[in-house]
Amino acid sequence: NIHRGVHTLSQEATNAYEDARKKLQVHFNAAQLYEIIFTSGTTHGINLVATGYATLLNKGDEIIVSALEHHSNIVPWQMLCERTGATLKVIPINEHGELIFSEYEKLLSNKTKLVFVNHISNTLGTINPIKEIIDKAHAVGANVLIDGAQACPHLKPDMQQLDVDFYV
């Protein structure tokens, strides 16, 4: 097991694990090594963030998701809103399968605590303007979670340039 034993194989496994973390930090230009967290997959990572938000949300707070999200990316937020009294708002899409950015801007308020969108839609292939989405959310004090499962094989997102709070 990594980080658990003093024997040779355990130390080699720990070194390989941490070397992989360093490579990912460089590849995605993460500011700190501890920003790279390994999970079993994107859904697990999203659920970890949702679990963390469970104690931070209150009645009247708002979470924004897009209409392009995979079902497994909507359910955790629906459940969280039911449990906390927060409201889930949805960014609509146009006939071309693109987010309607002007509608997104209307949804944002000082009640917005988290915005969740995918970088690239798993069904339509739509590439969302995540830098603009992040900037608008940060302007009202909201954090942003980006689902990058479909993007990472095709793009090389720069975490520092994006200034994203969570990229899963």
pLDDT digits 0-9 by tens, 40-95: 999 999 999 999 999 999 999 999 999 999 888 899 999 999 999 999 999 999 99
Structure tokens at 88: 């889930």
Q: Where are the beta strands (DSSP E) in the chain?
A: 62-66, 87-91, 112-118, 143-147, 166-167
Per DSSP, the three-state class of 166 is strand
Quick check: 100 and 129 in contact, CB under 8 A? no
Rounded Cα distance between 87 and 110, Å, is 13
Strand partners, 167: 146
Sorted by sequence, the CB contacts under 8 Å of residue 32 that are 6+ apart come out as: 25
> Residue range 135-159: average pLDDT?
96
Say whether pLDDT at 4 is over 90.
no
Tens of pLDDT, residue by residue over 7-41, are: 899 999 999 999 999 999 999 999 999 999 999 99
Structure tokens at 155: 């793009």
Q: What is the pTM of this model?
A: 0.91
Would you state the pLDDT for residue 45? 95
